Structure 1
């Protein structure tokens, strides 16, 4: 099984690449500016960035491709997994990708840094990060963290954002705990006692820890002002590839509905994409991950994918925490024109 964290978080400090490169990479039919982009009668070619190696967490995209949902929506989709050290939004800004899977908080931070990324759909309706502790730990809630050591991959990404938001929610500061940057070694750091707790993904890390015999608990981090995984694209593509992007969101929703009805379909879809042979133990972990992920999707149907999370509050928090240089206007960071509200 691959490492649980979905991607490396080295965000772009400067995004000087023009969106014209992204547009030239889109193969689409003649667009009519009066109807919002590509004609539905013909297909566009879009690349979706799955920001990690093949993994069951990307099952909706595998399912949509394998079942022809993208094709039926009039979009020729290529799924692209990122390299080990690749910037999260690098391929989006240089035109290699047209859609990227990323956290709403990550998109907002990138936007502050000059990346013209905008969220077009919410994939996870609740934040997936949790505080993970040994099952016999005295830590029962974030309030108990004072004086303890918490491991996090580094000062970046959702696990770090979740840590800072959790501390604020609990009335604690970074000075009240010892924060260790442990890279992507949460499991060994926790099992060997190097840290008292780690930040990880409740739907991915916890099942993997359990599979190794490490008994852990996921401690909820509270009602934090953060938005989880969604689909991002560029400002420019929202106007030039409107119908194609709507097709992507609709196809992913169809796949999500399948997985909500039967999580095993997600496992089956992932097995087809993961190189090599998936043994019974690995498949069991994948199934546990899918079972834990399904509740994060919310209920498919009218309104699925809409940006109903705390975007305004997140903008204020990111600025206050120094994760953005200023408050990013929430209504510029997402666009609800691509979800089906009927």
Structure 2
């Protein structure tokens, strides 16, 4: 009879821990993914999104585009999900984003693949975790850059006694300059259909410093969150496994909160048709199933573009657990106010 071995070399991947990362390390992430109109439909089923340009091929054509692109956050979530098994499978939390540029629209039929470079490392004082900074790039089937971004994530150490790497904290730009925003080829808002878009407000109707209460709220459900993380192939343990967190609750994926808040912002910003860049973002508190998410926005800056009829607004999008009619971001102590879940600074294209 053949001998049955009771010990075999492990073929499974436990994911990287903090001590496994090296400065300058380049990671080619597995599983390229072809996006389709099915992703558009599922995204609309998960989030109450109503922006006309990614919803209507006719509206997109009237705005000079040959095809209605997928919402930018679909491409972002797909590309981000590729990085999770290598970067944040053993994460405690995803901490923030910077320098995110949407270089070209993601269209149905595009295949996205992602590469990341480790650009910073810093062990935490507890010796059990550390922060890893990466710059990730998503390219399409032609090798063209579709999306690029930086993020930093707190990752567990497997061996607390493992030597800490040299601390390197990258110097990231706080804002993507307006002149670096990439307007999609052909975009033209000179004959913009405000009735079809749902609101009359254009570039000049928004003032720097203005705050907009988006009014509506959505209660997070565990089933929708689980569907979303699987859709984006996000395998982070804290989103699936109740045993991965000490309190036994699955942590809602931060991108789920971003998409929910972006969809809610339609009420007051229906003409913010395209996301151009994400300047900075922070998940300021955890969210769980049963929490009700509301959102408000602040206009931070305005810029003209060379594209006909197209202006850019720099917005702060704030998601809160429960509605805060005072639209308060921080308390007197400078810390985020109770209930703030997300602080996202981003650029959008609007009609002038």
Fold match (TM-score > 0.5): no
**Structure number having the greater helix percentage:** 1
**Structure number having the greater strand percentage:** 2
TM-score normalised by the chain length of structure 1: 0.29
TM-score normalised by the chain length of structure 2: 0.28
Q: Which one has a bigger Cα radius of gyration?
A: 2
